[in-house]
Amino acid sequence: MTNSKAAAGFGTLAVHAGQEPDPTTGAVIPALSLSTTFAQSSAGVHKGYDYSRSGNPTRNAFEVAVAALEKGKYALAFSSGSVTTATVLNMVGQGGHVVSVNDTYGGTFRYFTKVAKRNGVEVDFVDLYDPNNLKKAMKSNTKIVWIETPTNPTLRLVDIQAVADIVHSHPGALLVVDNTFMSPYFQTPLTLGADIVVHSVTKYINGHSDVVMGMAITNSDEIRDELRFLQNSIGGVPSAFDCFLANRGLKTLHLRMKRHEENAMAVSKFLEAHPKVGEVIYPGLASHKQHELAKRQQKGFGGMVAFRLKNGDLDASNKFLSTLKLFALAESLGGVESLAELPAVMTHASLTPEAREALGVTDSLIRLSVGVEDAEDLIADIETGLDAAIP
């Protein structure tokens, strides 16, 4: 379904897109439609739904809403960000080639290197800090170029427009952008030339750390038809209940993202001025190497911050993390509550030590998902942690 309120502002769309009052009851919130099957008036004649894997009203309402926010015509929901990746990769087929940015999400890296390979898909990883590196990596059988920006956990940016131009000079190649870190509030890659945007809805879109879900968004009828076919055939669809929750979360995305950013900026500035802190990585800081690109490509800088304890080692990092009270020591990101983690030991443990070294994922690198609490409380918590880590 396409949506009729495409001209409205972000907050208006977040609240209203796909959320028509129920024609029979007037309910302003789309019903939680748990039915797996739908009555037909005669064989093959139905009201648009026949079986809940193929289509579900609650899921549909959520898909319409996310499509509107990403400035796409179509969105398809999946049961996780990971199965979204797997389903999109199923477009490639045996003998196809994929180019991926080198510091991609760990689960995506695992899928590319361990699963896609088994299915006869070859994946090359390329440093796209300079987009021109992509030119040498493209092959005649390249079907997908996969990027994330900012990347995880070192928040390096990729110039989406520059990459899209290179991809589209190769017939048959598509650009996929994992937009999980920015959310559509801060970045809409389809408007910069991406063919498909994917999300781990688990993170900012749902925003409350209680749903695992994924989404793919596109403007192309052809891509939509292919992904619909794969979604229905592979069957990695989310439950109606999860769609109901994520749709509820989506309605405050603009409010949350604004606050995530304000807090992340305050935390970054505090860290940058602190004598026990080395490098602070946040695209909103003038010291970020790609601050200009961030300003041009994004509408804001997001809620993720990474920093290094000055002269820190594993022991200091552990002391810091175990002293925090407000920041939970946990993987994942994008929820209302603040989280802290040690990528070298947690999210990026599956990388080889050499790969971690190359990406700058040291034992002193700490990643924060800054939540929507009060900034002064978060800063006080971090200050206590720093005092404990480095006496």
Ligand X SMILES: *Cc1c(COP(=O)(O)O)cnc(C)c1O
The site for ligand X (CB under 6 A) is made up of 80-82, 105, 107-108, 148, 152, 178, 180-181, 200, 202-203, 212, 214
Q: Which two tokens stand for residue 126?
A: 């390329």
53 among known catalytic residues: yes
Q: How many CB atoms lie within 10 A of CB 259?
A: 19
Name the residue nearer to ligand X (CB basis): 334 or 385: 334
Q: Which residue is nearest to ligand X (CB)?
A: 81
CB of 212 to ligand X, least distance (A): 5
Q: Are 80 and 205 in contact (CB under 8 A)?
A: no
Distances, alpha carbon 129 to alpha carbons 38, 176, 181, in Å: 50, 17, 17
d(CA 77, CA 58): 11
CB of 346 to ligand X, least distance (A): 13
Name the residue nearer to ligand X (CB basis): 178 or 381: 178
Distances, alpha carbon 379 to alpha carbons 187, 370, 376, in Å: 27, 10, 5
CB of 367 to ligand X, least distance (A): 11
195 among known catalytic residues: no
Pairing of strands 277-281, 339-341: unpaired
CB of 331 to ligand X, least distance (A): 9
Name the residue nearer to ligand X (CB basis): 181 or 270: 181
203 among known catalytic residues: yes
Name the residue nearer to ligand X (CB basis): 309 or 359: 359
CB of 201 to ligand X, least distance (A): 7
Name the residue nearer to ligand X (CB basis): 18 or 238: 238
Given 73, 74, 105, 276, the catalytic residue = 105
Name the residue nearer to ligand X (CB basis): 148 or 363: 148
Alpha carbon distance, N-terminus to C-terminus of the chain: 59
Given 53, 71, 299, 310, the catalytic residue = 53
Given 59, 203, 356, 367, the catalytic residue = 203
105 among known catalytic residues: yes
CB of 380 to ligand X, least distance (A): 28
Q: How many CB atoms lie within 10 A of CB 93?
A: 12
Helices 81-89/221-234 angle, 10° precision: 110
Q: Are 211 and 249 in contact (CB under 8 A)?
A: yes
Please give the distance of CA 361 from its chain centroid, rounded to a whole number.
Answer: 20
The letter for the amino acid at 256 is: R
Long-range contacts of 165-171 (CB under 8 A, 24+ apart): 165/193, 166/131, 166/132, 166/134, 166/135, 166/138, 167/134, 167/138, 167/193, 168/193, 170/138, 170/142
Characterise 155 by phi-psi region: left (phi > 0), alpha (psi -120 to 50), beta (else): left
Active site residues: 53, 105, 178, 203
